[in-house]
Amino acid sequence: MPLCFTRRAAARVRRISIAGFATLSTRMNRKIAKTTTRTTKTTRTKTLRRPKRFLSASPAKAYRGAPCSMASLPEKSLHGGSSLEEGIALFLDYLHKERNYAEHTLNSYRCDLQQFVRFLYPRVEELHLPLRAVQREQVAAFVTDLEEKGLKASSVARKLAALRSLFRYLCREKGLAANPASAVASPLVERSLPRHLPVDQVAEAVEAPSSERFSGVRDRAILEVFYGGGIRLGELVALNLSSLDLDEGVIKVLGKGRRERIAPVGAKAQEALKVYLQRRAEVLLEVDMAQVDVGALFLNGRGKRLSRRTVQRVVERYLSAVSEGDSLSPHLLRHSFATHLLDAGADLVAVKELLGHAILTTTQVYTDVSIERLQAIYAKAHPHGSD
């Protein structure tokens, strides 16, 4: 060390009075005390014990409301949607704008995903759950919790599929490192054949509505369109007057993914629709036109478009009069439509187009229930098939 520097330092020390040194020492001690206090508080915060409800023996209960550990997680940041709630919003927006999912389908996704959020954090509205915090163990615990509550395997599988789709989208589009739901096994779902009604039961149900009341005329037209066109519940509810072309005997249907297709309107359905349209015009003369959904095809007595639930109740009421059991829904008429076509010898590819299926595999399930058709083919083709 240079000699000049040593002498200057020594001279400076000599100029400091004893009182001044005491003052400096006091200030340093206060500073050290404050630092020690902050360190102690920080240490206490880190060593808080976890609430007892997080130490439950049940895997599902252990993760319900438990904070997600951020340790050992990748620091890869997302380009937007840094929380689970924001990620769900982005995913639903993608399904709506780019995949053209129907509102009913979007609501199903929204309910399933929000149920997962509520499982993780019962008070999620007060928290901000990072996407990076969601791990496979929490998804598995969610599935276990659903099964413990007695939910059907098909419903559990649907909710898990929604989570897989969500995180797959976030991995692909938003930079999430891994899909925490991909390694979680789906519950085994028993494959059941589509139920259908015999032709005579369908005819009895379709002809049951009274022609004396507007609601009866409307219900007859609804049943005829369901069975005659094989359309879905959401497709029928969304029908407009502009969708109908009685001269050509067709209806323009907006199906899944907002794909348009042409559904047939048979002779009986055309007749029922003509009667309904006449009564519809008479009813509209008696209501306030300012409150009428003029463009909608099927209306209630006040001129409003029928809701999904109303149409479902209408169909269930008439089907329950001719058949017993569950699943007396509009889809039962769609199953009957497809099965009766195949039983009569219709081409499978043609039935696929009529149903609006994207792939043939979806339609092939109806071939398993066309026993009458198979027996007829066997009786006709096999040497020992008939007497």
Active site residue 232: yes
**Token digits of residue 220:** 């007859």
Active site residue 340: no
Nearest-angstrom CA–CA distance, 170 and 289: 47
Question: Other CB atoms closer than 10 Å to residue 90's CB: what's the count?
Answer: 18
User: Helix H segments across the chain?
Assistant: 3-15, 18-46, 59-63, 84-97, 103-120, 136-148, 153-174, 199-206, 214-229, 233-237, 267-284, 308-319, 330-343, 348-355, 360-364, 371-381
Letter string b/e over residues 54-85, b meaning 16 or more CB atoms within 10 A of that residue's CB: eeeeebbbbbbbbebeeeeeeeeebeebbbbb
CB 332 within 8 A of CB 319: yes
**Token digits of residue 284:** 């509209």
Q: Which of 232, 280, 335, 340 is catalytic?
A: 232
Of 233, 301, 234, 235, the C-alpha closest to 263 is 235
Partners of 264 in the β-ladder: 250
Active site residue 334: yes
CB 329 within 8 A of CB 312: yes
**Token digits of residue 264:** 């047939």
325: left (phi over 0), alpha (psi -120 to 50) or beta: left
Q: Which of 159, 218, 366, 373 is catalytic?
A: 366
Nearest-angstrom CA–CA distance, 39 and 163: 41
Partners of 240 in the β-ladder: 296
Q: Give the DSSP letter string of 78-144.
A: PSS--BHHHHHHHHHHHHHHTS---HHHHHHHHHHHHHHHHHH-TTGGG---BGGG--HHHHHHHHH
Active site residue 357: yes
CB 255 within 8 A of CB 261: yes
CB 264 within 8 A of CB 229: yes
Q: Which of 218, 334, 340, 352 is catalytic?
A: 334
Q: Which of 118, 158, 252, 256 is catalytic?
A: 256
**Residues annotated as part of the active site:** 232, 256, 331, 334, 357, 366
